[in-house]
Amino acid sequence: MMEDYTLPFWIYLTVLTVFIGGAMKKMILASHLSAASTLVAWLGATVLVERLWAFCLPAAVLLALLGLTWCLYSSITSRPLPLLPAQGKAVFITGCDSGFGKATAKHLDALGFEVFATVLDMSGEGARELQRTCSPRLTLLQVDITQPQQVQQALLDTKAKLGLKGLWGLVNNAGVCVNFGDSELSLMSNYRGCMEVNFFGTLNITKSFLPLLRQAKGRIVTISSPAGDHPFPCLGAYGSSKAALNLFMNTLRHELVPWGVQVSTILPSSYKTGQSSNTAYWEQQHKQLIQSLPPALLEDYGEDYVSETKELFHTYARNANPDFSPVINTITQALLSPQPRVRYFAGPGVGFMYFIHSYFPFSLSNKFLQKLFVKKKLMPRALRKQSGFDMDLNLHNNNNNNNEEKLIK
């Protein structure tokens, strides 16, 4: 029976399977179906495909019908539900000195939230701007999320101000990229620094405030990164910490279902946040890296190779989006939507990147990532030397062969 089908049939079947599979995946993620409901949905899709084949519809007609069905479904399900009121709801936001945190604190305060905003420096420009522009509802707290004592003090201060009221939202925004470069060149202190803030610090904050969130049946909204799901070159330390964070949040999401606490993760595209556009900071980090690398390792890679990576990152950071509104709007949706999503893509290109990662072969998706971030032109010095040696050796062998041919003649 198998040999009766031609190549166009299998191409048609593949396209149909990818189309329906992708549609079902989106519907399941959007609808938050349980495991049993998911199984039923997939079985239904399988029966649908089998029945459509039985009708022997032409490929174009069948795909057109499926496309029309999907468009109708999307138009119905994409209609935004009215957001919940912000008044009377309290939200705790980490990392509000600058970037997403500061912009989110200002926006949520303007909506009517009671905002608790943490900063590293109470006398810094970010803290002063929040005090100057926000309402008296906003409370500033000096918190380094890697310091358990400061986290506990912030919890006590928040409890004292909330009274018997629980906490509606926790926005885990604080994060750091200590340095970036090839994994072998990244110092162990870089790995530990990223993990301390991005994973352990966020873990500590989340665990500490969970009783207040459970009391209010509230929301946890975490700003993560596509680097936690995709192997971006030169982001091994940062990406590893975000991967740990993503897995923890996914686990927590399942565990908190009985408590009525909903967990969302936001995956932004590239934005000018924190130290990303601070040239002096990255120059200092680069100098420290050069001084800390073992001489033999620096010789193998070359100082010019390390410097090129730094320059490429500067170029990437300069071209990043300065408009935070897609991320801020997404955070607001996750906090106030009656049915918040598990994952939000904030910014252009993120959904497309995940589509390529999910449906394309690894070889293609890896090339896409390499072209997307830092486009290296230099090879490590040791490989350049080896390549030059090989070229010299080939040239020498060719000359010897030519001489031998002359002697034979």
How far is the C-alpha of 98 from the C-alpha of 127, rounded, in Å?
9
How far is the C-alpha of 21 from the C-alpha of 18, rounded, in Å?
5
Contact 104, 171 (CB under 8 A): yes
Q: What backbone torsions phi and psi does residue 153 show, to the nearest 5 degrees?
A: -65, -40
Q: What backbone torsions phi and psi does residue 321 show, to the nearest 5 degrees?
A: -75, 125
Host H or E run for residue 234: none
Determine the Cα angle at 171 with ends 242 and 114, to 5°: 170
Contact 143, 121 (CB under 8 A): no
In this structure, the number of other CB atoms found within 10 A of the CB of residue 135 comes to 11
DSSP assignment of 282-349: HHHHHHHHHHHS-HHHHHHH-HHHHHHHHHHHHHHHHTSB---HHHHHHHHHHHH-SS--SEEEESTT
Q: Which residues are marked as active site?
A: 238
How far is the C-alpha of 136 from the C-alpha of 152, rounded, in Å?
23
**pLDDT < 50 stretches in the chain:** 1-2, 30-35, 391-393, 395-396, 404-409
How far is the C-alpha of 160 from the C-alpha of 157, rounded, in Å?
5
Longest dimension (CA), the chain: 102
CA-based nearest residue to 95, from 72, 50, 127: 127
Q: Tell me, what DSSP letter sits at residue 229? A: T
Nearby residues of 366 by Cβ (< 8 Å), 6 or more positions away: 231
Contact 15, 63 (CB under 8 A): yes
Which amino acid would we find at residue 163? G
Give the length of the chain: 409
The pLDDT, as a whole number, for residue 55 is 54
How far is the C-alpha of 115 from the C-alpha of 119, rounded, in Å?
13
Determine the Cα angle at 53 with ends 48 and 54, to 5°: 95
How far is the C-alpha of 257 from the C-alpha of 252, rounded, in Å?
9
Strand-pair partners of 267: 345
pLDDT tens for each residue of 17-27: 665 555 555 55
Q: How far is CA 57 from CA 18, 53, 64, 168, 330, in A?
A: 18, 7, 11, 52, 41
How far is the C-alpha of 183 from the C-alpha of 205, rounded, in Å?
28
Helix ranges restricted to H, 163-217 = 188-194, 202-216
Contact 143, 150 (CB under 8 A): yes
Measured between its terminal Cα atoms, the distance across the chain in Å is 64
- Written as six digits, the tokens of 147 are 């310091």
- Written as six digits, the tokens of 201 are 């610090």
For residue 143, how many C-alpha atoms fall within 13 Å in the half-sphere facing its CB? 31
Host H or E run for residue 390: helix 381-408
The pLDDT, as a whole number, for residue 31 is 46
Nearby residues of 347 by Cβ (< 8 Å), 6 or more positions away: 268, 269, 270, 271, 321, 326, 327
